[in-house]
């Protein structure tokens, strides 16, 4: 099977700091892949290069068999790479409905009928449990609901690859349970790349885990293998006994 996403020798420096250093990464279609690692390991820089928000210093990104390294972000989005922001950046002054209508109206192929936009928006809002808040300004939603609205916007793009950057940050435990159900559901028709600090969430969701440390991939494998991996324990907990 052809990988959905591969990176070859992907690097990005900020001044003297090599935030991402020569990363070779492969993601198969249908996977839920978690990316974990200590703060500053280069996780967000890595997915930002995949989504096109940051240009790599060197290396190549291949999506669905085509080199996308030089493409601007908005074209990558159109090709099916959706990114939900780590720092919530919904349009605070627009209603939840309008927030989701923006991605929906762009992805519609018929593009004209008002009913189709409404149906698409309400579907995405219902999947994230926000349907009854459609007409609230996004800025007045609770933090957890704003995170869900981010996911709804990502879903509405009908992505083939959905990148979730720390989606459960700031969510209550009960909200996290619902979120896990939601991601599983999303993964039935999209590949999910998940940056996450919450280990129980990672262990429940991920098919495979990639561990970043100091800009490099330290380890990769199934949740069980990663849990047992000595160098991962070292990176997280300091020198092994």
Partner 1 sequence: MSDASPVKAYALHLGVIALLFVLSFLLPEYYHGLLSRIMVLAVFAIGYNILFGYVGLLSLGHAMFFGAGLYGAGLAVIQLGWGVPLAFVSGIACGAVLALVIGLLALRTTGVAFMIVTMMFAQVFSLLILYFASWTGGDQGMVVPQPARVLTFGATSLDLTNPTVRYMSALALFSVVLLITLAIVRSRYGRVLIAIRENEERTKMLGYDTFSNKLIAVVVSGTICAASGAAYALLFGYVGSSFASVQYSILPLLWVLLGGAATTLGPLIGTVFMYYVIDITSGYTSAYLLIVGIALILLVLFFPKGVLGTIRQRWLGWLP
Minimum separation from the CB atom of position 97 to partner 1 (A): 7
- Phi and psi at 194, nearest 5°, equal -120, 120
| Of residues 93 and 222, the one with the C-beta less far from partner 1 | 93
- Per the CB < 8 A criterion, the answer to whether 125 and 136 are in contact is no
Minimum separation from the CB atom of position 78 to partner 1 (A): 5
Q: Which of 217, 222, 208 is nearest to 31 (CA)?
A: 208
| Of residues 169 and 198, the one with the C-beta less far from partner 1 | 169
Minimum separation from the CB atom of position 134 to partner 1 (A): 10
Minimum separation from the CB atom of position 164 to partner 1 (A): 13
| Of residues 8 and 158, the one with the C-beta less far from partner 1 | 158
Chain length of the chain: 241
Can you state the percent helix, strand and coil of the chain, rounding each to 5?
40, 25, 35
| Of residues 107 and 233, the one with the C-beta less far from partner 1 | 107
Q: Where are the alpha helices (DSSP H) in the chain?
A: 43-51, 73-79, 96-107, 114-127, 143-156, 173-186, 199-205, 223-228, 230-237
| Of residues 52 and 215, the one with the C-beta less far from partner 1 | 52
Q: Kindly list the residues in this chain that would bind partner 1 in the complex (CB under 8 A).
A: 51, 53, 72-74, 77-78, 82-83, 85, 89-95, 97-98, 101-103, 105-107, 117-118, 135, 153, 157
Q: Which of 108, 120, 193 is nearest to 153 (CA)?
A: 120
Distance CA 241, CA 234 (A): 9
Give me 228's structure tokens.
């047992």
Minimum separation from the CB atom of position 220 to partner 1 (A): 27
């Amino acid at each position: 099977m052809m990988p959905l996403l591969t990176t070859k020798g992907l690097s990005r420096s900020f001044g003297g700091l090599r935030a991402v250093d020569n990363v070779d990464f492969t993601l198969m279609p249908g996977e839920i892949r978690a990316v974990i690692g200590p703060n500053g390991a280069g996780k967000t820089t890595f997915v930002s290069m995949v989504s096109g928000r940051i240009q790599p210093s060197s290396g190549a990104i291949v999506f669905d068999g085509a080199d996308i390294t030089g493409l601007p972000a908005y074209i990558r989005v159109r090709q099916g790479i959706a990114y939900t922001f780590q720092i919530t950046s919904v349009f605070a002054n627009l209603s939840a409905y309008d927030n989701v209508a923006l991605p929906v109206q762009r992805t519609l192929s018929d593009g004209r009928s008002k009913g189709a936009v409404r149906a698409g928006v309400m579907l995405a809002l219902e999947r994230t449990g926000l349907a009854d808040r459609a007409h609230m300004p996004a800025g007045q939603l609770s933090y957890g609901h704003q995170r869900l609205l981010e996911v709804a916007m990502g879903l509405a793009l009908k992505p083939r690859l959905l990148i979730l950057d720390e989606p459960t940050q700031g969510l209550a435990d009960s909200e996290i349970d619902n979120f896990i159900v939601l991601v599983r559901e999303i993964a039935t028709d999209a590949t999910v790349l998940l940056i996450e600090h919450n280990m129980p969430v990672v262990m429940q969701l991920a098919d495979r885990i990639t561990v970043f440390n100091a800009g490099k991939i330290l380890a990769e494998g199934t949740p069980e293998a990663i849990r047992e991996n000595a160098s991962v324990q070292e990176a997280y907990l300091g020198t092994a006994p």
